[in-house]
Amino acid sequence: MHPTARRLAISALATAGAMLPASHGAEAVTPATIPRLAVPRPAVHRAADSAAEQRTVKKFWTAARMKTARPLDIPRAGDRYFTAGAEPAAGTTSARPATVAPTRTTPTTTSRTTATSTAVSSRTSGSSWAAGGTVATTTGRVFFTVASGPDAGRSASCSGTAVTSANKSVVITAGHCVKLNGVFHANWVFVPGYDKGNRPYGTWPATTLLTTAQWNSGENMDYDIAAAVVAPQGGKSLTDVVGGQGVAFNQPRGRQTYAFGYPAGAPYDGSTLVYCSGRTFDDSFSSRDQGLSCGMTGGSSGGPWFMGFDTRTGTGLLNSVNSFKYTFAPYWMFGPYFGPEAEAVYNAAQKTALT
């Protein structure tokens, strides 16, 4: 689709929202009817889809191996740079913008890092979350083995969220947290409520990984969205154990937002849940994502962005995920707009049969 046409389509959808309520006491929201548009089918990858594979994956993730997992160092992708701390390419601008929401001007070329990179913000604004609630059980660390590229074979980490779903087994995260350099990651697990090395709710291997068609085919940062379906543990499904956050699609931009994650790049170490909050703004540089002032570092990728977040209960409607940062603006986090493509991934995930 032509970029202008895609912008118009998203604008039209913003007037009609689709939302699903959180479990564990969140107030129900009636789903809205949205226009039926042709959306490419999500990419689906079978992961540990047998009991034997799931046992092997769980044994793989020892406490020592989790401790050595570190954020991804993303290689060059097309004409964009995602490497941690990479210098702008020749002909790019490296001038630091003002610390206000950006204006609608576009540099010729830019350099960016993913939120999984190890770049350190000089204006760290992420704080440890100590208020408990549902967010402390539904948010967790994601661990996997990188399967391709310069980091192939090493352990890495991201963040993710358990969401309410028909099969009670869906985790939402970022696209690059399930697939990178054209290959899906291996040994993928979700550890909800991770805290200083403790796994109070267990380790949940993925049976199925899903991402948008756009991320699958070209790793398009506008669609850096993914889901995982995890296997039941001890005869119980994920959200029966930890609860599930609501999800929202096709919503107006510029909402008050809370972002969470497990940053593992300095000054953080991935041991505790961290958050930022503020009002989002549109990226005016090189994506259609939304931005948020936030100093979380590598490892926070895939962590949830909530609209309508209740700090008393720790519940909200997941409306984006931590995705990337620009090297010239480490104090801004960017996340993809949750439109029809994100909704398609979610729907495909919640309809996936458990194995």
Torsion of CA 173, 155, 333, 123, to 10 degrees: 150
- From CA 301, how far away is CA 64, in angstroms rounded? 22
The CATH number of the domain holding residue 179 is 2.40.10.10
Task: Report if residue 25 sits inside a domain.
Answer: no
Name the more confident of 75 and 12: 75
Cα separation values, 194 from 41, 171, 184, 222, 274, Å: 32, 15, 23, 28, 12
241 within a domain of the structure (yes/no):
yes
> Would you place residue 21 in the very low, low, confident or very high pLDDT band (cuts 50, 70, 90)?
low
In this structure, is residue 102 part of a structural domain? no
CA angle at 316 for the pair 353 and 295, rounded to the nearest 5° = 105
pLDDT at residue number 24:
45
In the chain, the N- to C-terminal Cα span, in Å, equals 36
Q: Which residues contact 241 (CB under 8 A, 6 or more apart)?
A: 192, 201, 202, 233
In a domain, 32, yes or no: no
Note whether residue 57 is domain-resident: yes
pLDDT of residue 284: 86
The alpha-helical segments, DSSP class H, found in the chain are: 3-13, 51-60, 63-68, 135-138, 213-218, 238-242, 340-350
Lowest-confidence range among 25-39, 203-217, 248-262?
25-39
Whether 274 is covered by a domain: the verdict is yes
Q: What is the pLDDT of residues 129-157, one digit of tens each?
A: 999 999 999 999 999 999 988 889 999 99
Please write the tens of the pLDDT for every residue from 319-342.
Answer: 999 999 887 888 899 999 999 999
Find the mean pLDDT for residues 237-253.
97
Number of domains in the chain: 1
Domain span including residue 285 = 41-87+111-350
